[in-house]
């Protein structure tokens, strides 16, 4: 029995074995457990699980401005989307956005975390703040700011990249460069958080491991790939899952910077659903897209845990 | 490799150089925002970027306040984020406690439901949720902006981990003394889990301060709107006109969090650092 027990019981310890058993029994009889969960479960049911079922149900109906009365149409909405080129373009844009942001934010986060984790004295704090502060900027504000930076005529971006020999680009007005522009600003906004996650994980790696490897003659490069990187796998898995989920949430940037344009080249799932629901008033189609979105997310996450997750425990054990 | 190890001083210098360079790149956009917000409209159109605004024009900020009720937006934002947090702290504490300390039928399945919520953000479910709030007749209220976030799978998960690290003996002892259940939770566990609660609070405040999509679709009038929505509307209303005004509005929307962050940077950075790993 620990000291804390004696403190809490004020030294009253007589007959404690019997009382303890009673206490355990009281605690384990969990009738009240459900009561404690009730507040959370009510909100979870109403705003996470009911919506899943509700949108799956609505996806089977034609329900829009022209058909204000719901008409059951089976899988017609899904078939329609299958044949809709814009739907595939939207999925492609989501994929490009994910491929453009996820590897880069993860690599930058890891690289900078390794650098910041060195003995840097007082400057370290300045670096951490300067690299992390974009997380504190609301995405809408960041998007507005970058619209200004990407201004083709007098924007900062074209001005400074000219020194690197990069020709002037119309960025948000160019059908090929609008999505990359959004990707660039999203990387700026997001990598700092991943850097902090990696930094926390790095601090959990015992210094003796590196010292031992150094004595054995392993250089910094080898030590990183043989010791640091494998031990960071749980953090990498966490960051990867967060990055996937947040890459599908991309909306604010698109809404402020391009409204999906030019020519739908930056239209993404959330914005596409938003258009159907609140611009075209086509609830049936919006619900169909919502259902597809949720399935996509769940499938992706299951895949990540099956294939990456398994490796993590191998290497971390 | 060898030389790399033998010259730690040079190596450190290189690290400083790389970091300083990257920091310069990341800080540039925000400095440009502040710089532009303090200029007169004419000074914006220069062939080379003018970093120091001279003469300084503070009038942009005043004008932003004249053209849109940013004071109201600020108050609404504070109400919404603190409202969400207050309810969350109750729901996650109760749920985290039960999952950490009680054994009961269906615990695994129920915990799984909490985890699913972490994976399906409001960005996926905003349409059915909008219809729900419509049928509850709650559209265009501050409560509507808060309701979907009252339960937090993520917060529950964090607190469960924190409560688990507190010795069980403590609870046995407390129960013997007649301090079981809620009283034990409130007087013993909650104070001990304070660092986790503070970390969650900061993360919750920041993420809901920055919310855009959900408040956008459930609000219609300026009297309930938050800062981020206010900024979006301001941009549309003033579209293309005057960059100094737009940047002043943008700077104002970012200012409250940025100031608090700079003042309490250590606490913020610690909280976000361990947001991913306490599990």
Residue B212 near residue A251, CB atoms below 8 Å = yes
Confidence of residue B49 (pLDDT cuts 50, 70, 90): confident
In chain B, the residue whose alpha carbon lies closest to the alpha carbon of A211 is B5
pLDDT score for A9: 36
Length of chain B: 279
Of A253 and B173, the one with more pLDDT: A253
A59 and A90 co-located in one domain: no
Out of A4, A193, A221, the one facing B169 most closely (by C-beta) is: A4
Strands A71-72, A61-62: pairing kind: antiparallel
pLDDT tens per residue across span A21-31: 555 544 544 56
Residues sharing a CB contact under 8 Å with residue B190, sequence separation 6 or more, in sequence order: B93, B197
A67 and A112 co-located in one domain: no
pTM of the full structure: 0.88
Of A217 and B221, the one with more pLDDT: B221
Range in A66-70, A280-284, A293-297, B139-143 the model is least confident about: A66-70
A67 and A108 co-located in one domain: no
Tell me whether residues A19 and B101 touch, CB distance under 8 A.
no
Query: Considering only CB atoms, which chain B residues are within 8 Å of A252?
Result: 212-213
Tell me whether residues A2 and B181 touch, CB distance under 8 A.
no
Tell me whether residues A27 and B101 touch, CB distance under 8 A.
yes
Q: Collapsing DSSP states into helix, strand and coil, what is residue A150?
A: coil
pLDDT tens per residue across span B68-90: 899 999 999 999 999 999 999 99
Closest CA of chain B from A51, distance in Å: 5
Rounded Cα distance between B70 and B59, Å, is: 15
Closest CA of chain A from B131, distance in Å: 9
Burial state string for B199-219 with b = 16 or more CB within 10 A and e = fewer than 16: bbbbbbbbebbbbbbbbbbbb
A129 and A168 co-located in one domain: yes
Residue A33 has pLDDT above 90, yes or no: no
A161 and A306 co-located in one domain: yes
pLDDT tens per residue across span B235-276: 888 766 688 999 999 999 999 999 999 999 999 999 998 887
- Average pLDDT on A281-290 reads 94
Tell me whether residues A294 and B172 touch, CB distance under 8 A.
no
Residue B42 near residue B53, CB atoms below 8 Å = no
Query: Considering only CB atoms, which chain B residues are within 8 Å of A44?
Result: 113-114, 117, 151, 153
pLDDT score for B19: 95
Query: Considering only CB atoms, which chain B residues are within 8 Å of A239?
Result: 276
Closest CA of chain B from A109, distance in Å: 12
Tell me whether residues A23 and B276 touch, CB distance under 8 A.
no
Out of B150, B172, B261, the one facing A20 most closely (by C-beta) is: B172
- Does any domain span residue A29? yes
Tell me whether residues A196 and B102 touch, CB distance under 8 A.
no
Tell me whether residues B151 and A136 touch, CB distance under 8 A.
no
pLDDT score for A23: 52
Please give the C-alpha separations between residue B270 and each of A265, A274, B198, in angstroms, as whole numbers: 39, 36, 10
Rounded Cα distance between B97 and A27, Å, is: 12
Closest CA of chain A from B39, distance in Å: 14
Name the domain count of chain A.
2
pLDDT score for A315: 45
- Average pLDDT on A102-106 reads 96
Rounded Cα distance between A30 and A314, Å, is: 36
- Does any domain span residue A2? no
Here the tokens at position B15 are 């690290």
- Does any domain span residue A226? yes
A62 and A104 co-located in one domain: no
Confidence of residue A51 (pLDDT cuts 50, 70, 90): very high
- Does any domain span residue A7? no
The CATH code that applies to domain B68-237 is: 1.10.3720.10
- Does any domain span residue A247? yes
Residues sharing a CB contact under 8 Å with residue A135, sequence separation 6 or more, in sequence order: A189, A190, A192, A193, B206, B272
In chain B, the residue whose alpha carbon lies closest to the alpha carbon of A279 is B217
To test the contact with chain A by mutation, choose from B123, B131, B278 the residue with the greatest count of A C-beta atoms within 10 A, namely: B123
A18 and A110 co-located in one domain: no
Query: Considering only CB atoms, which chain B residues are within 8 Å of A1?
Result: 169
Tell me whether residues A54 and B26 touch, CB distance under 8 A.
no
A170 and A99 co-located in one domain: yes
In chain A, the residue whose alpha carbon lies closest to the alpha carbon of B2 is A219
Tell me whether residues A298 and B49 touch, CB distance under 8 A.
no
A68 and A83 co-located in one domain: no
The mean of the pLDDT values for chain A is 86
Closest CA of chain A from B66, distance in Å: 19
Closest CA of chain A from B263, distance in Å: 11
Query: Considering only CB atoms, which chain A residues are within 8 Å of B143?
Result: none
Residue B209 near residue A44, CB atoms below 8 Å = no
Out of A32, A138, A249, the one facing B181 most closely (by C-beta) is: A32
A216 and A159 co-located in one domain: yes
Count CB atoms within 10 A of the CB of residue A163.
Answer: 7
Residue B236 near residue A140, CB atoms below 8 Å = no
| Residue the block writes with tokens 């603190």 | B82
pLDDT score for A31: 67
Out of A36, A40, A278, the one facing B151 most closely (by C-beta) is: A40
Rounded Cα distance between B243 and A317, Å, is: 55
To test the contact with chain B by mutation, choose from A12, A13, A15, A40 the residue with the greatest count of B C-beta atoms within 10 A, namely: A40
A148 and A252 co-located in one domain: yes
Query: Considering only CB atoms, which chain B residues are within 8 Å of A236?
Result: none
Residue A198 structural domain: 79-316
Q: How far apart are the first and last CA of chain A?
A: 32
């Amino acid at each position: 029995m620990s000291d804390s027990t004696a403190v809490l019981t004020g030294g009253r310890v007589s007959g404690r074995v019997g009382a303890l058993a009673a206490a355990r029994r009281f605690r384990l009889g969990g009738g009240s457990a459900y009561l404690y969960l009730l507040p959370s479960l009510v909100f979870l049911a109403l705003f996470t699980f009911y919506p899943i079922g509700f949108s799956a149900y609505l996806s089977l109906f034609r329900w829009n401005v022209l058909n204000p009365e719901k008409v059951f149409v089976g899988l017609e909405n899904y078939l329609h989307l299958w044949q809709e080129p814009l739907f595939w373009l939207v999925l492609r844009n989501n994929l490009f956005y994910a491929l453009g942001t996820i590897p880069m934010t993860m690599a930058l986060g890891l690289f900078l975390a390794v650098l910041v984790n060195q003995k840097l004295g007082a400057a370290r704090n300045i670096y951490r703040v300067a690299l992390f502060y974009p997380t504190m900027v609301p995405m809408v504000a960041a998007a507005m700011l970058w619209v200004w930076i990407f201004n083709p005529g007098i924007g900062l971006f074209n001005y400074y990249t000219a020194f690197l020999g990069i020709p002037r680009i119309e960025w948000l007005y160019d059908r090929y460069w609008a999505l990359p522009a959004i990707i660039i600003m999203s990387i700026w906004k997001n990598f700092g958080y991943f850097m902090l996650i990696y930094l926390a994980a790095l601090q959990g790696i015992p210094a003796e491991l590196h010292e031992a490897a150094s004595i054995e003659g392993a250089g910094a490069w080898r030590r990183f790939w043989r010791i640091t990187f494998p031990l960071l796998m749980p953090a990498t898995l966490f960051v990867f899952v967060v990055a996937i989920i947040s890459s599908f949430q991309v909306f604010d940037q698109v809404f402020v910077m391009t409204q999906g344009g030019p020519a739908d080249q930056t239209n993404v799932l959330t914005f596409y659903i938003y258009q159907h629901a609140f611009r075209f008033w086509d609830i049936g189609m919006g619900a169909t897209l919502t259902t597809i979105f949720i399935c996509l997310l769940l499938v992706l996450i299951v895949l990540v845990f099956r294939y990456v997750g398994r490796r993590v425990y191998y290497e971390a054990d | 490799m060898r030389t790399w190890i033998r010259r730690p001083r040079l190596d450190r210098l290189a690290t400083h150089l790389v970091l300083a360079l990257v920091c310069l790149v990341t800080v540039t956009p925000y400095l440009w925002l502040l710089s532009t917000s303090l200029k007169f409209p004419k000074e914006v159109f220069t062939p080379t970027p003018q970093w120091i605004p001279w003469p300084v024009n503070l009038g942009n900020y005043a004008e932003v306040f004249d053209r849109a009720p940013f004071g109201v937006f600020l108050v609404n934002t504070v109400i919404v984020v603190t409202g969400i947090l207050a309810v969350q702290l109750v729901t996650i504490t109760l749920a985290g406690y039960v999952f950490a300390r009680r054994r009961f039928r269906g615990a695994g399945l129920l915990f799984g439901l909490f985890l699913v919520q972490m994976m399906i953000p409001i960005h996926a479910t905003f349409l059915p949720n909008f219809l729900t709030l419509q049928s509850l007749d709650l559209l265009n209220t501050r409560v509507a902006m808060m309701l979907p976030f009252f339960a937090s799978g993520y917060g529950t998960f964090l607190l469960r981990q924190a409560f688990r690290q507190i010795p069980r003996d403590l609870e046995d002892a407390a129960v013997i003394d007649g301090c079981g259940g809620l009283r034990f939770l409130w007087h013993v566990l909650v104070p001990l889990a304070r660092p986790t609660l503070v970390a969650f609070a900061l993360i919750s405040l920041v993420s809901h301060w920055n919310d855009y999509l959900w408040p956008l679709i459930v609000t219609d009038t300026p009297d309930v709107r938050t800062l981020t929505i206010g900024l979006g509307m301001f941009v549309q209303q003033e579209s293309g006109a005057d960059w100094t005004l737009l940047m002043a509005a943008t700077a104002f929307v970012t200012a409250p969090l940025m100031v608090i962050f700079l003042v309490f940077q250590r606490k913020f950075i610690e909280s976000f650092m361990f947001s991913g790993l306490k599990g």
